[in-house]
Amino acid sequence: MKCPNLSCGGTVVRGNQHCHSCASPLVFCAVCSVANRSEAHFCRGCSTELSAQTFEESKDYGPSRTVTIGLSSLARPRSWRGWFWFVTSDGDVMRVSPYARTEPQPWFKLPEKSFGLTPPAIYSGGPGQVPDPYLVIMNTHQVLAVSLLNSDRTRIVYSPAAGRTLLSNTKKDNHHAIAEWARGVAFIEKQGDQQWLVICPFDREPWLEPIQDSSVVVGPVGRENLICFCTIDRLHWYDVATRRPGSLRFSGEFKPFTERPAAGVANLAPGVTPLAVEVSTQERRAYILGQAGERIYYAEADLGAQPVRMTAVPLPPGSFIDLNERGSFVVNASNEVREFTALGEKRHVTGRKLRGSMPAVLSNGDIIGFGEGSSSPIVCRRERFLTLGGDVQDCDEESVMGWMFRENGVALAVTNRQKMKLISWDRGGPVEMTERENA
């Protein structure tokens, strides 16, 4: 059958993970078997909603595949519906397939380089809506959104009034960000000593909430209806549903990271904001990464408690800290991988020592990291350990950006001298449907 990428014209067969002509990732409909674009929400053959495919538990990882890109990006690419998305240091939005053999094609050209300094957000549409995902990008005077389905669809999300600026990154190690929340995005606006949190729903007018404190140094970061940010000595939060703000002073000597920490303190993945917000039906927590003296700590704020409780907990020095696919912190503590959730810290025992200064990822029950004293990635699966082969020779603490979770595998991003390398591994193949299930 024909490749679902209309500009391709190639032929694909059922079971292919990608088109062999244009490298587009593919999703086959479980009902009518038609090939669809990986980003499609409904099948083009029978209009069935395409939900995530199931992959066999026991399947191992296939050989690695490397895409080398002659461009640099401050933040690790984001994997979204089969593609890797990133904004380059030159301010270009790019998309590349894990199966590509050539340079990625630019998706959208931003008007200024400075858009590449603040990690972009992905807004995927409000609850109950058909997903209409946008990559949201900011600099000091504009917030732009580019559709991830059609690059001709762009919109100016927000521009501040004359004399005001938006708090975005001007250096590569600042930690300002765009928050994604249930129905839109949020960011900070400034004029002299005054500052506001701008809450910007995608389908309604934005509004501003004044912030009475010293300058915001981290965030904002959001989840559901909760938006958090930090000044040097306080955590602030804002509930969009109730329009109620709150704040709490950090205890003792704790200070959030205001710039990328030294490697001996912590290995914070490039582009990661040292603040995460976790929300479940019962609980809400914020986690802030920082230091007390020269040591790495995290502050855990239990926002569901009355009054709000905050505790500072030390972490192993030099730990690599990354985000999982949901945006939660994942800390490599060598003997275990710690995941910071809405219910508290969740520990995953590795069964074998990992090199704590390198990233680790949780993928379908596996823990993948680098073995201690080794430069090869290993998969920890219950009592078994497998080595992941591949093009990882020049990957160390200096060059590694982090792991990316993919729907059907994992990928590792490495950056070296203005070049990026994306190494990916596929996990088995999609579960074959039996005739009966197909009927």
Residue span binding Zn ion (CB under 5 A) among the ranges 1-9, 66-74, 108-116, 249-257: 1-9
Q: Which residues of 279-292 are buried (b: 16+ CB within 10 A; e: fewer)?
A: beeeebbbbbbbbb
Report if residue 251 touches Zn ion, rule: CB under 5 A: no
Nearer to Zn ion among residue 33 and residue 335 (C-beta): 33
- Taking the complex as a whole, the smallest distance from the CB of residue 16 to Zn ion amounts, in Å, to 10
Nearer to Zn ion among residue 5 and residue 328 (C-beta): 5
Residues touching Zn ion, count (CB under 5 A)? 15
Nearer to Zn ion among residue 14 and residue 190 (C-beta): 14
Residue span binding Zn ion (CB under 5 A) among the ranges 2-10, 142-150, 194-202, 247-255: 2-10
Residue span binding Zn ion (CB under 5 A) among the ranges 12-20, 58-66, 196-204, 429-437: 12-20
Within 127-156, which residues bind Zn ion (CB under 5 A)?
A: none
Residue span binding Zn ion (CB under 5 A) among the ranges 6-14, 226-234, 262-270, 300-308: 6-14
- Taking the complex as a whole, the smallest distance from the CB of residue 339 to Zn ion amounts, in Å, to 35
Report if residue 433 touches Zn ion, rule: CB under 5 A: no
Q: Enter the tokens of residue 231.
A: 């000044």
Nearer to Zn ion among residue 32 and residue 241 (C-beta): 32
Report if residue 375 touches Zn ion, rule: CB under 5 A: no
Q: Which of 160, 250, 254, 239 is nearest to 198 (CA)?
A: 160
Nearer to Zn ion among residue 21 and residue 311 (C-beta): 21
Report if residue 5 touches Zn ion, rule: CB under 5 A: yes
- Taking the complex as a whole, the smallest distance from the CB of residue 102 to Zn ion amounts, in Å, to 13
- Taking the complex as a whole, the smallest distance from the CB of residue 84 to Zn ion amounts, in Å, to 17
Nearer to Zn ion among residue 3 and residue 179 (C-beta): 3
**Looking at 3, 69, 269, 330, which residue binds Zn ion (CB under 5 A)?**
3
Phi, psi dihedral angles at 115 (to 5 degrees): -65, -20
- Taking the complex as a whole, the smallest distance from the CB of residue 424 to Zn ion amounts, in Å, to 18
Nearer to Zn ion among residue 96 and residue 227 (C-beta): 96
CB 44 within 8 A of CB 27: no
**Looking at 1, 2, 10, 13, which residue binds Zn ion (CB under 5 A)?**
10
Nearer to Zn ion among residue 8 and residue 149 (C-beta): 8
Report if residue 388 touches Zn ion, rule: CB under 5 A: no
Pattern 25-64, Zn ion, x by CB under 5 A: ----x-xx-x--------x-xx-x----------------
Report the alpha-carbon distance of residue 285 to residue 301 in Å, rounded: 6
Report if residue 303 touches Zn ion, rule: CB under 5 A: no
Nearer to Zn ion among residue 19 and residue 276 (C-beta): 19
Binding site for Zn ion (CB under 5 A): 3, 5, 8, 10, 19, 21-22, 29, 31-32, 34, 43, 45-46, 48
